[in-house]
Structure 1
Amino acid sequence: MNRTFNAASTADDVLDGIDLRGRRILLTGASSGIGIETARALAAHGAHVVGTARDLSNAQAVTAAVLSDAANGGSFELVELDLSSLESVRRCADRIADSGPLFDVVIANAGVMATPAGRTREGFETQFGTNHLGHFVLVNRLASRIADGGRLVVVASASHRSAPFSLDDLNFERTPYEPQLAYARSKTANILFAVEFDRRHRARGVRAAAVHPGTIRTGLGRHMGQEVMEAAIEKLSAALVAEGQAPFQWKSVAQGAATTLWAGLIAAPDEVGGRYCENCHVSEVNDGPLGPFAEGVRSYALDPETARLLWRRSEEMVGETF
């Protein structure tokens, strides 16, 4: 029986009645925000979750609930990964590739948002290097470890809609750095990566989708500053009320994890493959005016030619061909 979910659905709603025993899932960013809830829900339904974190000692403490909620043979293990260092990414990929059976689902969840101007270990702009290039190398190095019929879910953001995407000056070497613009570019890159990965692997049944989890109060927005964020939310709420709508409400972490799980485990492969999803369904392309919480994906984020060009540029940047 097909079940319908929406913006209010939680991770447990999506997985209700689903037995994940025997399923192996890789999840980056498992020690914070929606990553913890995603791992908890998966392990609670019997999956074996391999989670990544930058700081293993801290991660073990904050993810204790994942193990305590594990049921039906579900389990959870942590491996070290710093997506801002390609050395760390390659080391992590090698370790994972050499141990355990194939993965049924890979979830590229980790990321940073609106960081001050900075560079990754290899000199890439922090947000593009971490959110896109780190995952680009990790997932591609593990592509053969995704079982036929498996799935890749890349956590993107509605922020991709805030600026057109360009392959020019991805490292902000010739233009002034803008934290929100850099974040938007990295999230568009996430979607384009899913589009091209899907094209390259669908022949063996591996499909890829990008998802927007929703607007959630997590540590991801810590670089924006509390006062700035609260002022922005207050302004948005006032605009919504003026339009006769309800004031803004944050999504819970449990609701934020729902679309990832829906796209990775519940939705039909052909429904989500190469697509962008939010609120537990596939989004329509909308290049017109969009309110702050309206749904829709920009066409440039799904453009297959841009996706191919970004793939080639990414290979050049990281010095690997996939």
Structure 2
Amino acid sequence: MSDSFGATSTTDEVLAGINLSGKRVLVTGVSAGLGVETARVLAAHGAQVVGAARDLAKAKQATSEVRAQAANGGGLTLVELDLASLKSVRACADALVADGRRFDAVIANAGVMRTPFGHTADGFETQFGTNHLGHFVLANRIADLIAPGGRLVNVASSGHRYSDVDLDDPGFARTPYDPMISYGRSKTANILFAVEFDRRHKARGVRATAVHPGGIKTELDRHMAFGELENLVAQINVQLAAAGQPPFQFKTIPQGAATSVWAAFVAPVEDVGGRYSENCQVSEIIEGPTSPVSPGVRSYALDPARAKALWTKSEEMVGERF
């Protein structure tokens, strides 16, 4: 594994010298933040990007720079996708399948964080339903469109450390709702989904991986109370100071999106397939207490048996088998 990229690498640096002409990429969540930047750099390097978003008007406005910077045959088309509605997810997937064109990468970027307790259109707890089940159905329905040599990249988070998935009570029917525990469950699910998708598809040359973009100021924190993010950073900095480490610094959006495009087109597939990466590097497994911003992945998020169990539970919940 090359050590040439790290926490401060940007999308442009990661893709420097790489021509993506003729490549086709699906990116979810292109109405803000990481999704827009991911689409921008891919189109600027020649890829045809299909950007999925719930609010197409917002996405069209947010992606004006994507179209402006598209080069070498690159471009952007938008499709409607509401991950909190399986009707919308299935309609989006059906339209892509009917179109029939292959994808060289699918970057499952969209998501919500720390939402108040609620439910999706299908009755699933909001974060698990949106972050995991929506992408689970979408990716599986279009799996045959991912060309041999292609990759599925699930944007997860270090937030997976807050909780393993709870397959007995995924909707908090019997346990008190905690927005961060819920977020942790959904992000662990993103990683486990990549593990099992990778196992199922690698024989035909399609691989899957999960990434953590890092701490970035985007719309993702819109459900946090005033001052909550600042207080969290202050607590982290106390821990870092006690460990003799420098204070936490947010990444820029181009730095945050770098690991996604690195995992999709730069990293050796045998290194990232079925794994979890951050800072453009494959992460080591960590156990025990650790700073929320220290690198590493929990072993339960990469457990093959856990990944299979989540797959089965997810099929049961959405009423489809893949």
Compute the displacement of 1:232 (Å): 1.2
Measured in 1, the distance between the counterparts of 2:128 and 2:300 equals: 17
After superposition, residues 165-204 of structure 1 pair within 5 angstroms as 165-204=165-204
- 1:67 is matched by which residue type in structure 2? R
Compute the displacement of 1:239 (Å): 3.0
Q: Which residue of 2 aligns with 1:296?
A: 296
Identity of aligned residues (%): 62
Residue 115 of structure 2 is aligned to residue 122 of structure 1? no
Measured in 1, the distance between the counterparts of 2:14 and 2:131 equals: 26
5+ residue gaps, structure 1, are none
Q: Which residue of 2 aligns with 1:262?
A: 262
1:114-162 Cα shifts (integer Å, max 9, x gaps): 0000000010000000000000000000000000111000000001112
After superposition, residues 1-322 of structure 1 pair within 5 angstroms as 4-99=4-99, 101-322=101-322
Compute the displacement of 1:261 (Å): 0.6
- 1:40 is matched by which residue type in structure 2? R
Measured in 2, the distance between the counterparts of 1:42 and 1:308 equals: 32
Measured in 2, the distance between the counterparts of 1:128 and 1:53 equals: 18
Report the TM-score when normalising by structure 2: 0.98
1:46-78 Cα shifts (integer Å, max 9, x gaps): 000000011111110111010011111110011
- 2:74 is matched by which residue type in structure 1? G
Compute the displacement of 1:3 (Å): 6.5
Compute the displacement of 1:99 (Å): 1.4
Compute the displacement of 1:2 (Å): 5.5
Matched-pair contact (CA < 8 Å) for 2:26–2:49: yes
Compute the displacement of 1:100 (Å): 5.0
Measured in 1, the distance between the counterparts of 2:261 and 2:55 equals: 25
Measured in 1, the distance between the counterparts of 2:163 and 2:26 equals: 31
Aligned to 1:111, what secondary structure does the other structure show?
A: coil
- 2:76 is matched by which residue type in structure 1? F
Measured in 2, the distance between the counterparts of 1:242 and 1:146 equals: 47
**Higher mean C-alpha displacement, 159-168 vs 49-58:** 159-168
Aligned to 1:52, what secondary structure does the other structure show?
A: strand
1:296-316 Cα shifts (integer Å, max 9, x gaps): 111100000110011011001
Compute the displacement of 1:96 (Å): 1.2
Aligned to 2:208, what secondary structure does the other structure show?
A: strand
1:101-120 Cα shifts (integer Å, max 9, x gaps): 20000010000000000000
- 2:233 is matched by which residue type in structure 1? I
Query: What is the root-mean-square deviation in Å for CA atoms of aligned residues?
Result: 1.2
Aligned to 2:20, what secondary structure does the other structure show?
A: coil
Measured in 2, the distance between the counterparts of 1:31 and 1:70 equals: 17
**Higher mean C-alpha displacement, 9-18 vs 225-234:** 225-234
- 1:293 is matched by which residue type in structure 2? V
Aligned to 1:25, what secondary structure does the other structure show?
A: strand
- 1:275 is matched by which residue type in structure 2? R
Report the TM-score when normalising by structure 1: 0.98
Runs of 4+ in 1 over 3 A off after TM superposition: none
Aligned to 1:223, what secondary structure does the other structure show?
A: coil
- For this pair of structures, how many residues does the alignment match? 322
Measured in 2, the distance between the counterparts of 1:293 and 1:73 equals: 39
Measured in 2, the distance between the counterparts of 1:136 and 1:235 equals: 34
1:152-203 Cα shifts (integer Å, max 9, x gaps): 0000000111223331200111111110000000000000000000000000
- 2:19 is matched by which residue type in structure 1? D
Return closer, same or farther for 1:75/1:299 CA change in 2, 3 Å cut-off. same
5+ residue gaps, structure 2, are none
Aligned to 1:57, what secondary structure does the other structure show?
A: helix
Matched-pair contact (CA < 8 Å) for 2:160–2:184: yes
